[in-house]
Amino acid sequence: MTACIVGWAHTPFGKLDNETVESLIVRVTNEALEHAGLGPEDIDEVVLGHFNGGFSPQDFTASLVFQASDKFRFKPATRVENACATGSAAVHQAIKTIEARRAKTVLVVGVEQMTRTPGPEIGNILLKASYLPEDGETKGGFAGVFGQIAGRYFQRYGDQSDALAGIAAKNHKNGVDNPYAQMRKDLGFEFCRAESDKNPFVAGPLKRTDCSLVSDGAAALVLADTETALRMPRAVAFRATAHAQDFLPMSKRDIIAFEGCAEAWRRALDQAGIQLSDLSFVETHDCFTIAELIEYEAMGLTPPGQGAIAVKEGWTNRDGKLPVNPSGGLKAKGHPIGATGVSMHALSAMQLCEEAGGIQVKNPTLGGIFNMGGAAVANYVSVLERIK
């Protein structure tokens, strides 16, 4: 028995001054239920993904879902957290509950509100997702951590500035057509490649355009067991899921190999009984462009050190042989930490149901998702397939 996505909701991502964590949760809860054609009374359990870490004062948030309807009262509701993979942690938790037959329907909500926090404080909050005894003093927040990773990659494999700019330009171009995206501007390769007042270096070789955005936003999914799902208007099944958690200290790992990511992809493809080339598209965790580059290698698209080929040859463009981040990714869509993994699943389900509008890829059959917490510490892969 597996679980299926039967409904979803997604707010626009960005600086949402008129929203609060509570209002975002309530909004996507109501919209996802409506999309699934269910009421709160039909939901057996609730899982909320919310990183927080200090972004908002309210830090005990699972029951905020109940603000959407009194009918949720006394249902099991739990918040889960796994750094920037919090959203996928929530999704995978819900799947396990359904597979264990403890619930037929689970509502998953992912939420974050980051933009009310001042810039330098954002960096310090995000650094809590690194290994503080080693990385606590890192300048530039998580950009500093990935700046080090990019520096080491350049040292081993040569300067990759063209590839990073190519990834940034691709994802910004894709984001133009995504109505949920925070930045809908085609910045172009030249702008992303050159250092300028508008595109300064942020950490190591990473410029501003190599970084994901600071965002508010929420997304939600209604999951159901297959039997229930097949009675509903649409059903997108989890053909495979994998979660590989790695050591926290970067010093205990080959940090530019993203071994946990590679392990999660191996397990998921094996479980699904498919090759990477069977996927119609991938939504991957481009918190920084160097992450997307290394993920090409970890997912098996290119050998180690050769991810740049995929960019140069246009393999990962929306019309390429494996479109990667047709949504614009974290780079253009935005990255409200707790919402990101849920958003990736919602957008992938839209793709497979051919309801993705301007970002639609052609004739999709299988979609892959990789969501990462920390520097390749929490690694979640899902393979989705529409069954109805």
Ligand X SMILES: CC(=O)CC(=O)SCCNC(=O)CCNC(=O)[C@H](O)C(C)(C)COP(=O)(O)OP(=O)(O)OC[C@H]1O[C@@H](n2cnc3c(N)ncnc32)[C@H](O)[C@@H]1OP(=O)(O)O
Residues that bind ligand X (CB under 6 A): 83-84, 119, 126, 129, 141-143, 202, 208-209, 211-214, 287, 335, 373-374
Could you tell me if 192 and 172 are in contact, meaning their C-beta atoms sit under 8 angstroms apart? Answer: yes
- To the nearest whole angstrom, how small is the minimum distance from the Cβ of residue 203 to ligand X? 9
- To the nearest whole angstrom, how small is the minimum distance from the Cβ of residue 87 to ligand X? 11
Could you give the CA distance from residue 110 to residue 339 in angstroms, rounded to a whole number?
A: 4
Could you give the CA distance from residue 95 to residue 99 in angstroms, rounded to a whole number?
A: 6
* Residue 141 or 205 having the CB closest to ligand X: 141
Spatial neighbors of 252 by CB under 8 A, at least 6 apart, are: none
* Residue 214 or 279 having the CB closest to ligand X: 214
* Residue 7 or 87 having the CB closest to ligand X: 87
- To the nearest whole angstrom, how small is the minimum distance from the Cβ of residue 122 to ligand X? 6
Could you tell me if 357 and 177 are in contact, meaning their C-beta atoms sit under 8 angstroms apart? Answer: yes
* Residue 52 or 212 having the CB closest to ligand X: 212
Closest residue by Cα to residue 289 from 175, 122, 171: 171
- To the nearest whole angstrom, how small is the minimum distance from the Cβ of residue 208 to ligand X? 5
* Residue 66 or 288 having the CB closest to ligand X: 288
Closest residue by Cα to residue 212 from 61, 383, 371: 371
* Residue 326 or 338 having the CB closest to ligand X: 338
Q: What angle do CA 250, 254, 259 make, to 5 degrees?
A: 100
- To the nearest whole angstrom, how small is the minimum distance from the Cβ of residue 289 to ligand X? 10
Could you give the CA distance from residue 209 to residue 230 in angstroms, rounded to a whole number?
A: 43
- To the nearest whole angstrom, how small is the minimum distance from the Cβ of residue 47 to ligand X? 19
Strand partners, 366: 385
Closest residue by Cα to residue 113 from 30, 180, 51: 51
- To the nearest whole angstrom, how small is the minimum distance from the Cβ of residue 104 to ligand X? 32
Could you give the CA distance from residue 110 to residue 125 in angstroms, rounded to a whole number?
A: 18
* Residue 7 or 110 having the CB closest to ligand X: 110
Q: How far apart are the first and last CA of the chain?
A: 16
The answer to whether the Cα torsion of 22, 23, 27, 28 is positive or negative is: negative
Q: What 3-state DSSP class applies to 107?
A: strand
